Amino acid sequence: MKPFKALVMLEDGTYFWGRSFTGRGESFGEIVFNTGMTGYQEILTDPSYYGQIVTMTYPLIGNYGINSEDMESEKIHVAGFIVREYQPFYSNWRAEKSLGNWLSENGILGIEGIDTRALTRHLRIHGAMKGGITTETLDPKKFLEKIKESPAYVGRDLVRYVTCNKVYYYGKKGKENFKNFKGEGKYKIAVIDCGLKLNQLRIFVEKGAECLIFPAYTSSEEILSYNPDGIFVSNGPGDPGALTKIVSTVKELLGKKPLFGICLGHQIIGQALGATTYKLKFGHRGINNPVLNLFNKKVEITSQNHGFCVKKEELPKEAIVTHVNLNDNTLEGIFVPELKLMSVQYHPENAPGPHDSIYLFDSFLKLVEGEIENLYP
């Protein structure tokens, strides 16, 4: 595909010149960076990135192509993609097409030739901010005006753009139309879909569960009417402080059934417990984030993707902090035995990332069975 001159610009006026490897276009969103060396397909299809333009810090992207097995949702959710060098000649036995062709087919603008080290350093110093990428408005002053007029990321409910439209079932055969729980699983898990990743459902099924997935704005009464054994609150995009309706629903569910939350689900649970959230300067995004398990003092290398955090000092006294981030000591996990509730800020389902924390799915299913001891081995 013919390359087109492209402009990458931040809302503070900083800009970089590069070239598009996906055709022409223009897009706006919060510009963030991810430190993963692999996993670009999973990142691009992770609904948590809705409304964001992702910069990869690893310098060569695209070398293993795209395949139909590594999708974490049904489509691409990022607003744009920035890399140092794009590799169109992929080599992998599972690959079906190139990254560039896939992005182009889906109308997603991909930019290469950017000094991603300089861009990442700027974001680390000044914080994540709004920005844009374009092949159309190449006058920096005019493009900056467009960026400033684009929607803010903070304060918006973005879950409504990524949650499912109706209830559906996920079991041994994957996604199916909803009829009811089939009874093929040992555990019946109700899932509140705030923008979930498919590997979360796959792991639940592998471990003997079957899942009924609900749109994020489903009432607590409807969820409980199916008498699930446990309730899972998924990851998702945007500012958790804007999700007042979902927080109210989860607050109504506290103590009714065992509860497990990941990433945005963790932030929603934190708010339901009475704490507030705040925006991190540049967030945690990558597959190499060290987290300390406070029960066994072991370090878990984790996959993360979040720009907000729960204020741990505002949690109620009955909430036990289970994990902390070793880079900045922020909250990474909560356990409330009395409520049979647990949550983590990171992604134990990996995809992409290490498998250090996958035990948390077993821990939640133990919680469903009534155990409250030795959940964090």
Look at residue 301 in the predicted model and tell me its pLDDT.
97
Q: Establish if 154 belongs to a structural domain.
A: no
- Say whether both 194 and 336 belong to one domain: yes
Same domain, 172 and 310: yes
Question: Within a domain: residue 377?
Answer: no
CA angle 127, 138, 7 (to 5 degrees): 40
Q: 208 lies in a domain? A: yes
Give the Cα-Cα-Cα angle 105, 108, 110 (nearest 5 degrees).
110
Same domain for 142 and 202, yes or no, is no
List of residues 6+ apart from 259 with CB closer than 8 A: 230, 231, 232, 233, 250, 253, 269, 339, 340, 341, 342, 343
Nearest to 189 by CA among 246, 234, 229: 229
* CA–CA gap between residue 267 and residue 235 (Å, rounded): 9
Report the CATH number at residue 165. Answer: 3.40.50.880
**Do residues 204 and 297 share a domain?**
yes
Q: Measured between alpha carbons, how far is 11 from 270 in angstroms, rounded to an integer?
A: 31
Residue 230 parent element (H or E): strand 230-233
Q: Is residue 374 part of a domain?
A: no
202 and 143 in a common domain? no
Closest CA to 233 of 189, 293, 186: 189
Return the pLDDT at 184.
81
Q: Tell me, what's the pLDDT at 181?
A: 61
Which domain, by its residues, includes 131? 4-149
Whether the CA torsion 145, 48, 162, 343 is positive or negative: it is negative
37 within 8 A of 44, measured Cβ to Cβ: no
Low-confidence ranges of the chain (pLDDT < 70): 179-182
- Interval 12-38: pLDDT, tens: 999 999 999 999 999 999 999 999 999
What's the whole-model pTM score? Answer: 0.96
In this structure, the number of other CB atoms found within 10 A of the CB of residue 88 comes to 14
Catalytic residues: 263, 347, 349
Note whether 130 and 195 are same-domain residues.
Answer: no
Q: What angle do CA 138, 144, 149 make, to 5 degrees?
A: 125
Count of structural domains, the chain: 2
On whether residue 35 sits in a domain, the answer given is yes
Q: Distance of CA 42 to CAs 297, 318, 351, Å?
A: 30, 36, 6
In 3D space, the residue among 207, 205, 141, 139 whose CA is nearest the CA of residue 172 turns out to be 205
CATH number for the domain that contains residue 127:
3.50.30.20
Residue that terminates a domain, selected from 130, 149, 168: 149
pLDDT in tens, 67-122: 999 999 999 999 999 999 999 999 999 999 999 999 999 999 999 999 999 999 99
Q: Distance between the two ends of the chain, CA-based, in angstroms?
A: 51
Pure H helices in 69-113: 99-105
End position of a domain, from candidates 123, 149, 175: 149
- One domain, residues 282 and 320: yes
Both 60 and 111 in one domain: the answer is yes
Question: Is residue 36 domain-resident?
Answer: yes
Q: Is residue 186 part of a domain?
A: yes
Provide the pLDDT for residue 178: 73
CA–CA separation, 242 vs 257, rounded Å? 25
3-state secondary structure of 317: coil
Q: Are residues 21 and 132 in the same domain?
A: yes
Last residue of a domain, one of 120, 149, 178: 149
Q: Are residues 128 and 169 in the same domain?
A: no
Report residue 127 as tokens. Answer: 């914080």
Same domain for 342 and 232: yes
* Residue 76 covered by a domain: yes
Residues contacting 88, CB < 8 A, separation 6+ = 21, 62, 98, 99, 100
Same domain, yes or no: 75 and 204: no
